[in-house]
Amino acid sequence: MNYRITIQYDGSRYNGWQKQGNTKNTIQGKLEDILSRMTKEEVEVHGAGRTDAGVHALGQTANFHLKEKWDPKQIKEYLNRYLPEDIEVTCVREASPRFHSRLNAVEKVYVYRIGTEGRKAVFRRKYRYLYPGRLDVKAMEQASASCIGTHDFKSFCANRHMKKSTVRTITGITFTEEDKDILITYTGNGFLYHMVRILTGTLLEIGAGMRRPEEMKLILEGKNRALAGKTAPAQGLTLLKVRYGDEDEI
Amino acid sequence: MNYRITIQYDGSRYNGWQKQGNTKNTIQGKLEDILSRMTKEEVEVHGAGRTDAGVHALGQTANFHLKEKWDPKQIKEYLNRYLPEDIEVTCVREASPRFHSRLNAVEKVYVYRIGTEGRKAVFRRKYRYLYPGRLDVKAMEQASASCIGTHDFKSFCANRHMKKSTVRTITGITFTEEDKDILITYTGNGFLYHMVRILTGTLLEIGAGMRRPEEMKLILEGKNRALAGKTAPAQGLTLLKVRYGDEDEI
């Protein structure tokens, strides 16, 4: 049986989603350990987005196959009982046998939260990046427009040895304000390694007046990571949602 | 000069507001250390509510006297620069010479946040109490009505050697729902030591069906701490606001 789950986590004390080689303390690892204990078989959990160390999730999606049939409610209760307090499984349901959380994903939504005006925002402090200066949001919005559509995002990919295509489609970059924080919401069919954080870092440099909004287009066309801005800190980023085709939509 | 400040804090890692004898790591202590360093004089900070260890604040108010005149903006910046990331001063302003944050307070508002249905709520986990069972909110509301008005709240006071009056006026206890959490908001002219937490603990026992709503009145009339319920955990409690008379209102 194939199961699909939705997960929330505070990524602050984890080495990201993916268990890779000897990487300890990952979200994937925590889930696999508990599921393997529950079923007495080795379980592999596939995540939709491989969030970096320190990145959070409100709607990460994953799937895994179990040899026997389990009650989704029972799986959810077992996971939440043994998962630490900073990881929660919010939904478990049966999926079609061929469903794969990453390969079937048609859209992902990430949000990057920026604190401004020196406000510490005590209760949100671990889920935002407190930018130390003023930002021209209008300039950032103008620059972001160049990224909408299908482009080669090589300039915004931290993986220098990426052999696969670096072409992705971004359908939306929107700016909203919440409790005086700036929220940048990125919607697209997929994002490269560090792509949202490099886009945000570049937009921050534009917002701070270090670069002009028109540069964004040139950075994109240059297809060279060195042209783009710094990688924005992980703690401001949250994977909000993963969407699938109609068949797999809840 | 007398200064009045508003403070937010995540109380999780502090021994409460008040510096008492050898108590280290208090909010009051942190503020006094920084203000004394700034002014090169010994500064005493008076808080409106002596929040317990682990209790949070969104609108704690305090005041302190300085020998010289300082720019409120400068005080605010200095404090926020040296305060840890879980304490923030959101407002500093000059106050009349006789203003005292605790003695002049006319109303305090506390909110107690209860998680239900086993939902972990990863991002709020440190600011709520996850109740392990179901709650009958209607019964809790019914019971809370007995507490409205001016009463001797001796049954809800953890200080057995309280020599001063235990009479207080509660003007409101309201129940609201936010993201499936139950929020109980207490408004009154003052609260005794642990009073909000003992009231909440008693309401939880009523909500869980361990006591009947009618018992609340008898507990109040009994004027005996042993009659009331357990003290609810500190982490669910937040001091929301302190109100003053017109003269000192912002």
| Active-site hit among B52, B71, B179, B246 | B52
Whether B249 shows a pLDDT value over 90: the answer reads no
Model confidence band, residue B246 (pLDDT cutoffs 50, 70, 90) = low
Which of A10-24, B2-16, B81-95 has the lowest average pLDDT?
Answer: A10-24
Model confidence band, residue B247 (pLDDT cutoffs 50, 70, 90) = low
What's the token pair of residue A18?
């993916």
Say if the Cβ atoms of A122 and B80 lie within 8 Å.
no
Hey, which residues 57-96 in chain B have their CB within 8 Å of chain A?
A: 58, 77, 80, 85-88, 90
- Per-residue CA distances from A8 to A90, B130, B151 (Å): 7, 17, 44
Q: Which of A170, A45, A183 is nearest to A108 (CA)?
A: A170
Give B123 to chain A, closest Cα distance, Å.
7
Does A9 contact B at CB distance below 8 Å? yes
Does A8 contact B at CB distance below 8 Å? yes
pLDDT of residue A246: 61
pLDDT of residue A89: 97
For chain A, which ranges sit under pLDDT 50? 250
What residue in A sits closest to B83 (Cα-Cα)? A120
Say if the Cβ atoms of A85 and B118 lie within 8 Å.
no
B240 neighbourhood in chain A, CB within 8 Å: none
Q: For residue B3, list its beta bridge partners.
A: B64, B94
Chain pair A-B, CB pairs under 8 angstroms: 47
Do the domains at B2-103 and B105-242 have one common CATH topology? yes
The per-residue pLDDT for range B184-219, each reduced to its tens digit, is: 999 999 999 999 999 999 999 999 999 999 999 999
Whether B222 shows a pLDDT value over 50: the answer reads yes
- Taking 3-state DSSP, the helix, strand and coil percentages for chain B, each rounded to the nearest 5, stand at 30, 30, 40
Annotated active-site residue A179? The verdict is: no
Say if the Cβ atoms of B85 and A121 lie within 8 Å.
no
pLDDT of residue A247: 55
Q: What is the largest CA-CA distance in chain B?
A: 58
Say which CATH architecture domain B2-103 belongs to: 2-Layer Sandwich (3.30)
pLDDT of residue A120: 85
B86 neighbourhood in chain A, CB within 8 Å: 122, 125
Angle made by CA atoms B243, B247, B250, in degrees to the nearest 5: 55
pLDDT of residue B250: 46
CATH 3.30.70.660 fits B105-242, yes or no: yes
Judge whether A7 and A88 are in contact, CB under 8 Å: yes
Q: What is the rounded CA–CA span in Å between residue B94 and residue A232?
A: 39
Which residue among B10, B85, B120 sits closest to A85, beta carbon to beta carbon?
A: B120
Which residue among B86, B118, B119 sits closest to A122, beta carbon to beta carbon?
A: B86
Give me the residue label for tokens 């508002």: B109
The three-class DSSP label of residue B121 is coil
Give B235 to chain A, closest Cα distance, Å.
13
The three-class DSSP label of residue A17 is coil
What's the token pair of residue A236?
């401001």
Q: Where are the domains of chain B?
A: 2-103, 105-242
Q: What is the CATH number of domain A106-242?
A: 3.30.70.660
Mean pLDDT of chain B: 94
Does B233 contact A at CB distance below 8 Å? no
What residue in A sits closest to B12 (Cα-Cα)? A123
Give me the residue label for tokens 């090589």: A154
Q: Which pTM does this prediction carry?
A: 0.88
pLDDT of residue B24: 85
Q: What is the rounded CA–CA span in Å between residue A55 and residue A234?
A: 5
Say if the Cβ atoms of A120 and B85 lie within 8 Å.
yes
B75-108 b/e with 16+ CB inside 10 Å = b? Answer: bbebbbeebeebbbbbebeebeeebebbebbebb
What's the token pair of residue B50?
């002596």
Whether B220 shows a pLDDT value over 80: the answer reads yes
